[in-house]
Amino acid sequence: MTKYKFIVALSLIALVFDLFAPLPAAASYDAAKAVQYLKSGSIDEWTVMALAAAGSLSGVNTDFLQNDAGGAATATEKRILAAVAAGQNPQNHLTALTALYNGTEINAAAGLLNDDIWGLLAFAAARANSSAQAQLASFIRQNQNVNGGWSYAKAPSDSDSNDTAVAIMALLAAGESPDAGAITRGFGYLASTLTDTGFAFDADSGFGPDSASTSWAISAYLAAARTVPVSARVYLENLQKTDGSFPWQQGGSGNPQMTAHAVIALSGKFFPVRAGGVNSSFEVSIIGPSATIFSGHITLPPGATALAVLAESAKTGNFSYVVKDTSLGLFVESIGGIGPSGDKGWMYAVNGVKPSVGASQYVLQNGDKLVWFYGAPEIAVPIGPPSGNGQNSAVVNLSLQVSVPADPEPTIMLAASRTSIGLGDTVQLSWSAQNASAVVTSTPGNWAGAALSGTITVQPPQTTIYSIMVSGPGGTKQATVQINVDTTPQIVFGVNPNNLHLGDLSPSHTTVQGSLVLANAGRNNLAVTATLQNADGLYQQALFLNGFLWSAFRENLDTNFSKNVNVSVVLPAGYRNNGIKTGTLIFWAVLR
């Protein structure tokens, strides 16, 4: 059994001194080292968003973002955010997320709020499902706690800075004004979690500042165009290690997730991170009933919708268009002065296919061919302008069903015996793959080896995401599990003072006394005993603690509790050994 000890020196002379150290000066954030650190490890959604924020996603394989995320709703939401940051089309993930939305919230059975917060961010990032965005924003505002913060769970629940910062960014991304009451109250709560340096997880626990809370709070300030507290940025920059990584707290080990959060904040970015770099280019044709109104190439930032490209085409081609806001959404009424007539009106197609959603909701991809054309609903998509000779051409989309037995997709199950542990605890991971022939990756490190199934005991030093990817003839599959580690030490134990002067003993003054305080500042109940080391024989036979000879002393200390200990020495009858008597009293604390 591991013991923690605290030493008290006993003597006739006590020396007390204080040390005052100045706060560290601001470090210079080394973005290049942080990017190099992230690229040297496994790539996940957090890493993709961070590298996109730093403008350093070039050369990174992000194909995995098109795979099914699996797991909880937040896994799908995180994948949508990463896909948008990488400039990919997240439509397949949006379909999966929409299936979890009941018109009010996402995955109501889970009883959580954070999946609604991240869900709103995901829809807003993809510029999709405006009605869901409006309803989710309302639901999030309804679940704001009275202190202005938000929680992982629905209100009323304990607020924390992490969920509050992300809720602020989600509402802003969905169109909430930075001066709205919910936003202002949210920043009021965030301010209560700001320490002398960085931001803490909450205002009450006493955990102290950490990189995750500080990174997300900084990003929230940036999203609202508010001034970032200087002390918070200095604190975060000073956490960076020589290898470019960031730990959760000062003195801890760097890890990719904390580094990703810090890179986003220190790059001046916030959620949702949007793809940067080269604009997307689209081939556009606008074909009227008797002539082509516009034909050319339009370039816009990634994420442009079919309606946004029409607007840019109108600027370039100097023609007019009219959009009406109806109960069914935005409707293009006229282009170039040509409006509806009977059953004829304006429609659009992308790469020869008529989408099933409105132009304001369809996000184009780089290289798409956009055609706006006029006619009845059943008209085929034209591939060229109207001809004066009575002839024209149109697209007919052919389809057929081919039934060829396909190789079954592999499956991978990854489970943990528990997902929340204390520092020093162990967890058993078990995994099993079907229809797979090889383990492609297992991070961090290579914990799973090459085995397609098995169990292993791990002892993560901080919150860690374990992932495993398997491959087979039918493709690849990945599974992840996050082990949350409470890094608060199991035992936080102390004694005050640690130098005790007991006074003078003589035949006329046969008893001396002093007082100590035992303090348990940790998260576990303790049992405390005492031993002597290098102690004069007088202490061995005559030192009493709370009336008990030191060797029989035992006290129970509950978590976050302290007790006074009376220390006394009784001069034995006939004692003749004069002089200064010193010794070391050691208190031992163990879990009980």
d(CA 38, CA 334): 50
If you average pLDDT over every residue of the chain, what do you get? 86
User: Are 166 and 43 part of one and the same domain?
Assistant: yes
Look at residues 486, 517, 543 and tell me which one is the last residue of a structural domain.
486
Percent of the chain at pLDDT exceeding 90:
51
Q: How confident is the model at residue 396 (pLDDT cuts 50, 70, 90)?
A: low
Reduced to 3 states, what is the DSSP secondary structure of residue 284? strand
User: Are 481 and 502 part of one and the same domain?
Assistant: no
User: Are 54 and 107 part of one and the same domain?
Assistant: yes
What pLDDT does 281 receive?
83
What pLDDT does 510 receive?
79
Please tell me which residue, 303 or 178, carries the higher pLDDT value.
178
Q: What is the β-pairing status of strands 4-11 and 345-350?
A: unpaired
How buried is 320 (Cβ within 10 angstroms: 0-12 exposed, 13-18 middle, 19+ buried)?
A: exposed
Domain-located, residue 36: yes
What pLDDT does 393 receive?
52
Mean local confidence (pLDDT), 127-135: 86
What pLDDT does 394 receive?
53
Percent of the chain at pLDDT exceeding 70:
91
What pLDDT does 4 receive?
47
Yes or no: say if 412 and 478 are a contact pair by the CB < 8 Å rule.
Answer: yes
How buried is 156 (Cβ within 10 angstroms: 0-12 exposed, 13-18 middle, 19+ buried)?
A: exposed
In this predicted structure, the answer to whether residue 15 has a pLDDT above a threshold of 80 is: no
Looking at the structure of the chain, the number of domains it has is: 4
User: Are 382 and 418 part of one and the same domain?
Assistant: no
Domain-located, residue 473: yes
- E strand or H helix that includes residue 215: helix 211-223
Q: How confident is the model at residue 325 (pLDDT cuts 50, 70, 90)?
A: confident
Instruction: List, for residues 68-78, the tens digit of each pLDDT value.
Output: 988 889 999 99
Q: Could you list the residue range(s) of the whole structural domain that residue 375 is in?
A: 280-395
What pLDDT does 7 receive?
44
Mean local confidence (pLDDT), 406-425: 89
Name, in order, each residue with C-beta under 8 angstroms of 120's C-beta and a sequence gap of 6 or more.
133, 136, 137, 140, 170, 171, 173, 174
In this predicted structure, the answer to whether residue 388 has a pLDDT above a threshold of 50 is: no
Mean local confidence (pLDDT), 211-221: 96
Q: What is the β-pairing status of strands 280-287 and 292-300?
A: antiparallel
**For the domain that residue 453 is a member of, what is the CATH number?**
2.60.40.10
Lowest mean pLDDT among 119-128, 176-185, 388-397: 388-397
In this predicted structure, the answer to whether residue 286 has a pLDDT above a threshold of 90 is: yes
Q: How confident is the model at residue 246 (pLDDT cuts 50, 70, 90)?
A: very high
Lowest mean pLDDT among 13-22, 67-76, 525-534: 13-22
Mean local confidence (pLDDT), 309-336: 86
User: Are 58 and 185 part of one and the same domain?
Assistant: yes
d(CA 546, CA 567): 7
Name, in order, each residue with C-beta under 8 angstroms of 334's C-beta and a sequence gap of 6 or more.
320, 321, 322, 340, 346
Please tell me which residue, 388 or 301, carries the higher pLDDT value.
301
**For the domain that residue 290 is a member of, what is the CATH number?**
2.170.130.30
Lowest mean pLDDT among 56-65, 226-235, 446-455: 446-455
- 263 HSE (CA, 13 A, CB side): 33
User: Are 109 and 234 part of one and the same domain?
Assistant: yes
Instruction: List, for residues 70-100, the tens digit of each pLDDT value.
Output: 888 999 999 999 999 998 889 889 999 999 9
What pLDDT does 198 receive?
94
Q: How confident is the model at residue 442 (pLDDT cuts 50, 70, 90)?
A: confident
What pLDDT does 395 receive?
52
User: Are 555 and 587 part of one and the same domain?
Assistant: yes
What pLDDT does 19 receive?
25
User: Are 249 and 118 part of one and the same domain?
Assistant: yes
In this predicted structure, the answer to whether residue 475 has a pLDDT above a threshold of 90 is: no
Domain-located, residue 402: no
- E strand or H helix that includes residue 223: helix 211-223
